[in-house]
Amino acid sequence: MLAACGDDKSTQNNDSKQQVGKQTSEKTVSQPDQNEAFDDFKKKFLEEFWSLNPSYGVYVGYYKHDDKLVVPDKKSVAKEVAFTRKVLQQLKGFDIDKLSAANATDWSLIKNQIESAQWYREVFKSSHWNPSNYNVAGVFGVILNTEYKPLEERLRAISTRLDQVSAYYQAAIDNITVPTIEHTELAIQQNTGALSIFEKSIPESVESSTLSKAEKDAFTPKLEKAVAAINGYINWLKAKKEKIADGGARDFRIGESLYEQKFKHDIVSDYSAKELYQKALTAKQNLHQEMIKITTQLWPKYFPDTQIPAEPLVAVKQLIDHLSVKHVKRSDFVNEVKRQMPIIEKFIIEKDLLDMDPSRPLVIRETPEYQRGIAGASVNAPGPYDATANTYYNVTPLDHYTEEQAESYLREYNHWILQILNIHEAMPGHYTQLLHANKSPSLIKSIFGNGAMIEGWAVYSERMMLEAGYANDEPEMWLMYSKWNLRVVMNTILDYSIQVLGMTREDGLNLLMNEAFQERTEAEGKWRRATLTQVQLTSYYNGYAEIYAFREEMKNKLGDKFDLKKFHNKFLSYGSAPVPVIRSLMLRELGL
Same structural domain, 36 and 177: no
By C-alpha distance, which of 186, 197, 133, 128 is closest to 162? 197
Pair (145, 229) in one structural domain: yes
User: What are the E-state strand segments in 331-400?
Assistant: 362-366, 377-380, 391-395
Q: Which domain holds residue 370?
A: 293-583
The answer to whether residues 553 and 576 belong to one domain is yes
Contacts of 147 (CB under 8 A, 6+ apart): 389
pLDDT for residue 521? 86
Statement to judge: residues 406 and 530 lie in one domain: yes
Q: Indicate whether 258 belongs to any domain.
A: no
Please report the pLDDT score of residue 115 as a whole number.
Answer: 95
* Cα separation, 48 vs 43, whole angstroms: 9
What is the strand order of the sheet 391-395 is part of? 362-366, 391-395, 377-380
Q: Which of 69, 101, 124 is the last residue of a domain?
A: 124
The total domain count for the chain is 3
State how far the Cα of 47 lies from the Cα of 447, in Å rounded to an integer: 13
- Residue 477: inside a domain: yes
Residue 373 lies in a domain: yes
Q: What is the pLDDT of residue 434?
A: 87
Among residues 91, 124, 157, the one where a domain terminates is: 124
pLDDT at 2: 45
Q: HSE-up of 208 (CA within 13 Å, CB side)? A: 9
User: What whole-number distance in Å separates Cα of residue 580 and Cα of residue 22?
Assistant: 14
Indicate whether 59 and 198 sit together in one domain: no
Is 253 part of a structural domain of the chain? no
Do both 104 and 186 map to the same domain?
A: no
Q: What single DSSP character describes residue 8?
A: -
Whether 477 and 336 share a structural domain = yes
Residue 28: burial class (beta carbons within 10 Å; 0-12, 13-18, 19+): middle
* Category of 12 on φ-ψ map: left (φ > 0), alpha (ψ -120 to 50) or beta: beta
Q: Does any domain span residue 493? A: yes
* Neighbour tally for 527: CB within 10 Å: 19
Q: Is residue 467 part of a domain?
A: yes
What residue ranges of the chain have pLDDT lower than 50?
A: 1-31
- pTM greater than the 0.75 cutoff: yes
Examine residue 131 and say whether the peptide bond preceding it is cis (omega within 30 degrees of 0): no
Q: Are residues 117 and 136 in the same domain?
A: no
Question: Both 490 and 361 in a single domain?
Answer: yes
Domain boundary at 65, 94, 124, which?
124
169 with 235, same domain: the answer is yes
115 and 148: one domain? no
120-145 pLDDT, tens digit each: 999 999 999 999 999 999 999 999 99
Question: What DSSP line would sit under 44-91, residue for residue?
Answer: HHHHHHHHH-HHHHHHTT--TTTT-----SHHHHHHHHHHHHHHHHHH
Residue 281 falls inside a structural domain: no
pLDDT of residue 195: 97
The verdict on residue 592 lying in a domain is no
Query: What is the average pLDDT value for the chain, to the nearest integer?
Result: 91
Contact (CB, 8 A) for 573 and 453:
no
Domain match, 565 and 433 both = yes
